Structure 1
Amino acid sequence: MSIKINATIREDQGKGASRRLRHNEQIPAIIYGAGKAPSLVTLGLHAMTHLLEDEEVYTSVLDLSVDDKVEPVIIKDLQRHPAKNLITHVDFLRVDMKKEIVTNIPLHFIGEDDNAAMRLGAILNQFVTAIEVSCLPANLPNAIEVDISNLKMGEHISLTGINMPEGVIITALTHGDIETYDQNVVAVQEPKLMTEEAAVEATEVEGEEGAEAEDTKADEAKGDSDA
């Protein structure tokens, strides 16, 4: 099922023009890539906000209709208002359906309810929540599932342990030395181990703060002595 977004050509540029658009409940946007000149367009605020409630929109090839001319794009960047949950600008990247694209895809961890170790109180530690992949636009997945149902206490899954969809490649594993880039994605750990790690980190922070305080006292004492 294709996802369509309607847009219109935008002639005005600059902060003032963008401010007027937002005041009229419209969003300034830009389309670039595929060897073509960038195009400035305008989107409807309410339609785009509603569309972005579906997380698949962020990782789908979209049909962007500009004055009845449709071209495939992906959302490359979103800007939001720092205080309000409002979209202020959208960057679209044109897609050549015959050429591979590189983008980030979220990981969905499944099987937690079926994991025996977690039913006994183990904790799931997620090191990575999204990975960069390369594939043809037609093969672009909305998410990549990582099954942790059979993961035992102390075991982990790394990048090479993920079952990837056909035609989709993890870019980190294309750099030659796979072992160097094969980072852990998720692990099942004992709660005690997690607590001990947190305690060690807290102790290190307290030690650093204490050392800084002692240095400050020493500097103050030196200043009094010099006076």
Structure 2
Amino acid sequence: MSKTHEIKVTKRELQRKGASRRLRHAGVIPAIVYGGNAEPVAISLDHNATWLAQQNEWFYSSILSLNLDGQITKVLLRDMQRHPHKQLIMHLDFLRVDENQALTASVPLHFLNEDTSPAGKAADVVVTHELKEVTVSCLPKDLPESIDVDLGELKAGDVVYLSNIKLPKGVEIVALAQGKDHDDAIVTAKHGKGEAADEEVAAAE
């Protein structure tokens, strides 16, 4: 189950780009909240506090509680615009979430016990993470901040697929609902190039 993280925001009037530029110079990020049955609301956030928050995984995959003068709106981050050269957030888009309606969100994968697995301990085996996150569907209360993938038994030649992931209750992987052809590999364990070449030579002989 996902935790909620509260962020204080301030309401602002929708204005031209010049106003947004002045906000950024003042250390404030312009943002918008949309979705649900309510009209879009223009808000602003403190840049320094938000910059620190966005360095955490939960900022991108968890339900966020926007606190506007004591009124809480639960949202998901849907878009972040960054400055191309500076450590500066230019704009944020937040989507309102309905507690009773399923949502889709990208959730990071955490790979556990890889170093102690047979593949991880073998010097001639290369373990590749094909995916680092997965798109899931669930009710907001069931949204996980991350999903653990235990690689403790991973051996050379093994492939871990989306269907092998142990999911929290109430959570589904969107791709799997589209059929077996979408059961993508998330981890592969292959012998290094040197040993693979030796095996090809031996097979040819």
TM-score by length of 2: 0.90
Amino acid paired to 1:149? G
Name the CA shift for 1:193/1:68 in 2 (closer, same or farther; >3 Å).
Answer: farther
| Pairwise CA distance, 1:192 | 1.5
Give yes or no for contact 2:114–2:154 (8 Å, CA) kept in 1: no
Partner of 2:9: 7
Partner of 1:128: 131
Moved over 3 A (4+): 193-196
Aligned-partner SS, 2:84: coil
Q: Which has the higher contact order (CA 8 A, sep 6+)?
A: 2
1:184 aligns with 2:185: yes
Q: How does 1:79-158 map to 2 (within 5 A)?
A: 79-121=81-123, 122-158=125-161
Q: Within 2, Cα distance between the matches of 1:172 and 1:120?
A: 32
| Pairwise CA distance, 1:12 | 4.1
1:54 aligns with 2:40: no
Amino acid paired to 1:72? K
What is the root-mean-square deviation of aligned Cα atoms in Å?
A: 1.6
* Cα distance per residue 1:18-77 (max 9 Å; x no partner): 100001000000000112111001111111112222222221111101232111111111
Partner of 1:222: none
Partner of 2:201: none
Partner of 1:64: 66
* Cα distance per residue 1:128-160 (max 9 Å; x no partner): 111110001111011111111101101111111
Between the two proteins, the alignment pairs up a number of residues equal to: 194
Alignment counterpart, residue 167 of structure 2, candidates 164, 167, 170: 164
Q: Within 2, Cα distance between the matches of 1:124 and 1:79?
A: 33
Name the CA shift for 1:108/1:171 in 2 (closer, same or farther; >3 Å).
Answer: same
Aligned-partner SS, 1:90: strand
Name the CA shift for 1:193/1:142 in 2 (closer, same or farther; >3 Å).
Answer: farther
5+ residue gaps in structure 1? 197-227
* Cα distance per residue 1:81-108 (max 9 Å; x no partner): 0001211111111011111110111111
| Pairwise CA distance, 1:9 | 1.0
Q: Within 1, Cα distance between the matches of 2:75 and 2:152?
A: 36
Amino acid paired to 1:171? V
Amino acid paired to 1:165? P
